Amino acid sequence: MTLSPQLIAATIQDDPSLIKDVQDLVASHPDAAAVITRLLTYFQTKQASTDVKHPKPDQGIAQYFTKGNGSVGTPSTPSLVASPTPSTITMADIGPAIYSTSPLSFLHPVRKKLVLSLHQQDIALVSPTNTSEIVCSAPYGSLYRIIAVPFLERTTKQTALILFFRHAGINTKSSKDAVWAVPLADDGKDFSLEFHSQHKQLAGLSEDLRSSSTILPPVPFVSPSTVATSNKRPDHILISVLSYFLRRFSPTQYSSSVDIIPNPSPPHPNFSAHLKSNQGTIYLLPTGILFAFRKPILFLRSAAIEAVGVHSVMSRTFDFEVVMDSTNGVSTAEDLEGVPTETKGDGRRAVGFGMVDTKEFGRMEEWIKKAGIRDRSLSEDLKAKDKAPSSTPTPGSKKRERTADGEGLSDSGSQVSSSHQDGITASKKKRQEVVEDDDDDDEEDQDFAPESEDEIMEEYDSNAEGSDSDEGEQVEKPSIKPVKKAKKSNDDEEDLEEESLGEDTDEDDEDEEEDDDDDEEGEEEGDEEAEEEAEEEEEEDEVKDISARRRDDDEEEIDELIDDD
């Protein structure tokens, strides 16, 4: 590997003697070229983020996209222009835009429509109504991670593009502005990428992208014709363009430090989870765990994760805890951004996720093994969480824990405490006894039911003969009616006996009296039938009231037994 003269000249500008010494060192020790390149790139990036000088007037944008003779072609490696003070960033400071998108609905750093603008050395978010208003900007050197994942919060198929920046490079100096997130429709609807006409003569970006795809991946997303073709997904197009600018800005950093994770098909494992009270989606990516899209957006780099522990495993959900090792120097400031300050007592910081569906346990365990992360599910502090009152399972839920060898799940002793289980058994027995008593009451209620319809009709038949033994006796209500019928029959017989003694010997008078008696009997029988029907309805209502009162009493007894349990 040879050391780029342009890189040396861009980093060491005012000391020709030092430039010569560096070149001689690399010539005598070729193996040191890679280390020297990284060192120069580091100082170059620091210089770009701290230098407050404005670009020189004679340093136009064309020099970054032209050959040495000034003709348009494959661009040479650019030299950096110092970034201005963050508080005074204007469009004149970052230069004209080379590419700009249509207004996009950003989720972070603010929820509003913004234009993503790509400049010579900076990437910016610009107001769609005022092109001179820069909401946020950062140099390409501060962009260290690009992630594309499925955006599951909308019905249409969309991919969310997430950009992570180093805080020192953000012009607002605010950590909340260090993450940009925007969902893009997979079909390219409402998306356009404009290559500004005033810069078309400066470069053939699409040609350079195609040629560089065979040199420095990952730039294989661009179609053979143009960059902004309609048959490509917007996230693929933007990743391609960003890859180009990152590579031109710093070839070494692009190939070694920028983590680019495109959205594959099928996508990486993802599932719903809670971070405290915020519900979001967890993505198990090749290089870490992403939690999005509720604030804060977290990316837990697997190399900085000390251990992962699963706890509070229920029949439907489980919780897990990610411990970041901040003591051995592996974790950077960006790795710990957004991670709660809660520590494990030895400087390690932990972040907990909850309410994960148990169906996702297998994929979670597979990812932990593949990433080579230690499983601390059987640690004492996680066992204590399982025993805490807040994690006590509800009746009917199953409590499980990981086996000693870390494979699968096994029943962890008793599902609930023995005292609670005995209480449930006793409650069930009492409820069964109450139900049996209720059945007995139903059988007793049947004794109050009136006789069958045939028996009632026969008993109330006007031709039925009354029994002498019924007179003067107290019987149930249905037997009172035959007694009245028997008394009426005896009165009729006495009238006939008086007539036979000669009180009325005229046959016509007797016939008239018989007709009158028949009419009176008919009227009396009609009145008696109406009275009988009314009494029968009263009896049925009384039986229903008795049954209803018994059912109410039984239900009150059952409720009292349940409350006592």
| Angle at 354 (CA atoms; ends 174, 392), nearest 5 degrees | 140
Q: How confident is the model at residue 117 (pLDDT cuts 50, 70, 90)?
A: very high
Q: How confident is the model at residue 362 (pLDDT cuts 50, 70, 90)?
A: very high
Dump the DSSP string for 261-287.
E---SSPPPEEEEEETTEEEEEEEETT
Q: Which residues lie closer than 8 Å to 445 by C-beta, 6 or more apart?
A: 546, 547, 550
Q: What is the DSSP letter of 319?
A: E
pLDDT, tens digit (0-9, with 9 covering 90-100), for 5-46: 767 777 776 677 788 888 888 888 888 887 888 787 777 676
Q: Domain of 437?
A: 426-564
Round to whole Å and give the CA distance between 140 and 203: 19
Tell me whether residue 271 is in a domain.
Answer: no
Kindly state the tokens that stand for 549. 């009162």
Amino acid at 145: R
Rounded to an integer, the average pLDDT of 535-563 is 74
- pLDDT of res. 24: 84
The percentage of residues in the chain with a pLDDT greater than 70, rounded to a whole number, is 55
Instruction: Judge if 390 and 500 occupy the same domain.
Output: no
Tell me whether residue 287 is in a domain.
Answer: no
Assess contact for 124 and 92: CB atoms under 8 A. Answer: no
Among 370, 398, 416, identify where a domain stops.
416
Tell me whether residue 159 is in a domain.
Answer: yes
- pLDDT of res. 112: 93
Strand, helix or coil for residue 387? helix
Query: Whole-model pTM?
Result: 0.53
Beta bridge pairs of residue 309: 321
Q: At 355, which helix (H) or strand (E)?
A: strand 349-357
Among 390, 416, 442, identify where a domain stops.
416
Instruction: Judge if 456 and 394 occupy the same domain.
Output: no
Among the residues of 221-338, which ranges form H helices? 234-249, 251-256
Among 367, 384, 416, identify where a domain stops.
416
Q: Above 60 in pLDDT, residue 161?
A: yes
Rounded to an integer, the average pLDDT of 202-207 is 49
Closest C-alpha to 116, from 102, 133, 98? 102
* Maximum mean pLDDT: which of 66-75, 80-89, 261-270: 261-270
For residue 221, CA distances in Å to 105, 243, 265, 273, 324 come to 23, 10, 14, 32, 34
Q: Looking up tokens 């190939």, which residue turns up? A: 255
Long-range contacts (CB closer than 8 Å, 24 or more residues apart) made by 68-74: 72/201, 72/202, 72/203, 72/204, 73/204, 74/207, 74/208, 74/211
In the chain, the number of structural domains is 4
For residue 131, CA distances in Å to 103, 128, 516 come to 11, 6, 115
Q: How confident is the model at residue 95 (pLDDT cuts 50, 70, 90)?
A: confident
Rounded to an integer, the average pLDDT of 98-116 is 92
Lowest-pLDDT range, 68-77, 165-174, 539-548?
Answer: 68-77
Dump the DSSP string for 366-395.
HHHHHHTPEE-TT-HHHHHHHHSGGGPPPT
Q: Which residues lie closer than 8 Å to 453 by C-beta, 6 or more apart?
A: none
For residue 529, CA distances in Å to 340, 457, 526 come to 88, 12, 5
Tell me whether residue 331 is in a domain.
Answer: yes
Round to whole Å and give the CA distance between 63 and 254: 21
Q: How confident is the model at residue 539 (pLDDT cuts 50, 70, 90)?
A: confident
Considering only residues 434 and 309, tell me which one the structure prediction assigns the higher pLDDT.
Answer: 309
- pLDDT of res. 514: 55
Instruction: Judge if 37 and 86 occupy the same domain.
Output: no
pLDDT, tens digit (0-9, with 9 covering 90-100), for 273-330: 999 889 999 999 999 999 998 878 999 999 999 999 999 999 999 999 999 877 777 7
Instruction: Judge if 500 and 550 occupy the same domain.
Output: yes
From start to end of 32-110, where are the E strands?
A: 99-101, 104-106
Instruction: Judge if 357 and 494 occupy the same domain.
Output: no
- pLDDT of res. 476: 46
Instruction: Judge if 97 and 188 occupy the same domain.
Output: yes
- pLDDT of res. 513: 54
Kindly state the tokens that stand for 19. 């430039």
Instruction: Judge if 369 and 245 occupy the same domain.
Output: no
Instruction: Judge if 345 and 256 occupy the same domain.
Output: no
- pLDDT of res. 512: 52
Instruction: Judge if 410 and 444 occupy the same domain.
Output: no
Q: Above 60 in pLDDT, residue 422?
A: no
Assess contact for 105 and 113: CB atoms under 8 A. Answer: yes
Instruction: Judge if 230 and 147 occupy the same domain.
Output: yes
Instruction: Judge if 107 and 141 occupy the same domain.
Output: yes
Instruction: Judge if 251 and 143 occupy the same domain.
Output: yes
Considering only residues 459 and 90, tell me which one the structure prediction assigns the higher pLDDT.
Answer: 90
pLDDT, tens digit (0-9, with 9 covering 90-100), for 119-151: 888 999 999 999 889 999 999 988 989 999 999
